[in-house]
Amino acid sequence: MSDKLNIAILGGGPMGLAAAWHLLKQGHHVSIFEAGDRLGGMTASFDFDGVRIERFFHFLCATDYDYFELLEELGITDKLHWVNTRMGIFHEGSLHNWGEPFALMKFPGLNLIEKIRYALKVLYCKNLKNFEALDREKATVWLRTWLGERAYKILWEPLMSLKFYHLKNEVSAAWIAARVQRVAHSRESLFKEKLGYLAGGSDTLLFALEAAIRQRGGDVLLSTPVEQVLVSGGRATGLRVKGIEHQFDRVISTIPLPYVANIAPDLPEDDLQKLRQLRNVGVVTVKFKLSQQLTPYFWLNLTDTSYGIPGIIEYSNLNPLPDTIVYVPYYMPQDNVKFTWDDEQFRTETVRCFQAINPGFSESWILSFHVSRYFYAQPVCVPGFLATLPPMKSRIDDFFMADTSYYYPQDRSITESIKLGNQLADMAVTGHG
């Protein structure tokens, strides 16, 4: 075999694109197979009544180093902008500032001891170097221990309940701590939150990556789902796509792991069982274009579960768009009856929430409305989560696989996708995990 490998990549999200770019820079040939009609996965955009935005929102933190390195390679660092944003919390019918010491001390929902315990928890997470001990704990138990029962019920139980529902008691403490740490490290100072966005949204990165990949001779195939990974003599030899067999030296999968069990039936049975038993929650993201600002906050947490909404992201308070753009993500297990709601049911519930948080809100403010759904949006990361996953270097030779599950304990982010895509590419070339 020549040093130049012919490599297939399943999935055209940031992970697959990053893997492709990394391989092309080393002189290998890649073909990207994307089942959807556009690149990007959860970062893909659409035309929202004249404004190009992502179907599912993203933001950047100061520690997203792999993302920044890729921007530099592509020559688009000038598109990155930083903004001092604000976080809020809606508690017992009122809006309050959140996310910095003064806001915490003024918050009426906690007593002084609870506020001190909360601040210590954030400081602990910010400085945490090793998540191994927390990997053995459940988040709900750990949070109760840190904060006390009452503070937990006010601050965290609504968020856990409205994201994981009956699975909330199975989530790892390490996963929660890593989420707190990422945001804590993005602060410009103790009193200022600083987050980033890319001018033009994720399209700017995706289009630049696609152009660079095609310029280097890579193939990008849209609306092209893979039917099966071909295996001969214990190694992956190619793919079957639309009934046609294609030969490749290596195969890399970046699609959600539950799909891999269907297209790679030659994996050992115990690995197939691991893939089938992985639990994810889905997401329904409701987006509004409004004529007026809803709140002054980029991120607003809600402590009242009666609205069915854990938080509201007013994206235009980060990225200054011509109109107010609001994302309302509904995370839930896919068997939740709410996952079958039609768009109007989500609109009705969300409007009711808007009216509560801003009594001046009127339906006349609504210029446009859109709903996006994603079936496998968030893995349920249990304690010891990595041990529940099959190896990225699979037990089929020359077949490698990963999805957002392997970020653990880190949460889903574009920078983690880029990092893991690079890792998959290196594994495919060297054959080592």
The answer to whether residue 141 scores a pLDDT higher than 70 is yes
Give the residue among 197, 165, 152, 193 at the shortest CA–CA distance from 53.
Answer: 197
For residue 154, the number of C-alpha atoms closer than 13 Å in the C-beta half-sphere is 17
> ∠279-280-285 over CA atoms, to 5°?
165
Burial profile 393-408: b = 16 or more Cβ within 10 angstroms, e = fewer: bbebebbbbbbbbbbb
- % of the chain with per-residue pLDDT over 90: 88
| Confidence category of residue 3, pLDDT binned at 50, 70, 90 | confident
Distance, in Å, from the CA atom of 78 to the CA atom of 83, rounded to the nearest integer, reads 14
Tokens in use for 227?
A: 């039917």
Mean pLDDT computed over 221-249:
97
The answer to whether residue 2 scores a pLDDT higher than 80 is no
The answer to whether residue 304 scores a pLDDT higher than 70 is yes
- % of the chain with per-residue pLDDT over 70: 98
For residues 184 and 125, the answer to whether their CB atoms sit within 8 Å is: yes
| Confidence category of residue 190, pLDDT binned at 50, 70, 90 | low
Mean pLDDT computed over 235-247:
97
pLDDT score recorded for residue 399: 98
| Confidence category of residue 431, pLDDT binned at 50, 70, 90 | confident
pLDDT score recorded for residue 196: 93
**Is 335 buried (19+), middle (13-18) or exposed (0-12) by CB count in 10 A?**
exposed
CATH 1.10.3110 fits 101-190, yes or no: yes
The answer to whether residue 99 scores a pLDDT higher than 60 is yes
The answer to whether residue 122 scores a pLDDT higher than 60 is yes
**Is 1 buried (19+), middle (13-18) or exposed (0-12) by CB count in 10 A?**
exposed
The two beta strands, 324-333 and 192-198, are unpaired
| Confidence category of residue 411, pLDDT binned at 50, 70, 90 | confident
**230: which strand partners?**
238
User: If one looks up domain 6-37+222-278+385-430 in CATH, what number appears?
Assistant: 3.50.50.60
Question: Rounded to two decimals, what is the model's pTM?
Answer: 0.93
pLDDT score recorded for residue 1: 41
First-to-last alpha carbon distance for the chain, in angstroms, is 21
The answer to whether residue 33 scores a pLDDT higher than 90 is yes
What's the mean per-residue pLDDT of the chain?
94
pLDDT score recorded for residue 101: 86
| pLDDT tens-place string over residues 357-400 | 999 999 999 999 999 999 999 999 999 999 999 999 999 999 99
| pLDDT tens-place string over residues 39-92 | 999 999 999 999 999 999 899 998 899 999 999 999 999 999 999 999 999 999
Tokens in use for 395?
A: 């037990």
| pLDDT tens-place string over residues 10-28 | 999 999 999 999 999 999 9
- Other CB atoms within 10 A of residue 66 CB: 19
| Confidence category of residue 100, pLDDT binned at 50, 70, 90 | confident
The segment(s) of the chain belonging to CATH 3.50.50.60 are: 6-37+222-278+385-430
pLDDT score recorded for residue 247: 97
pLDDT score recorded for residue 193: 80
The segment(s) of the chain belonging to CATH 1.10.3110 are: 101-190
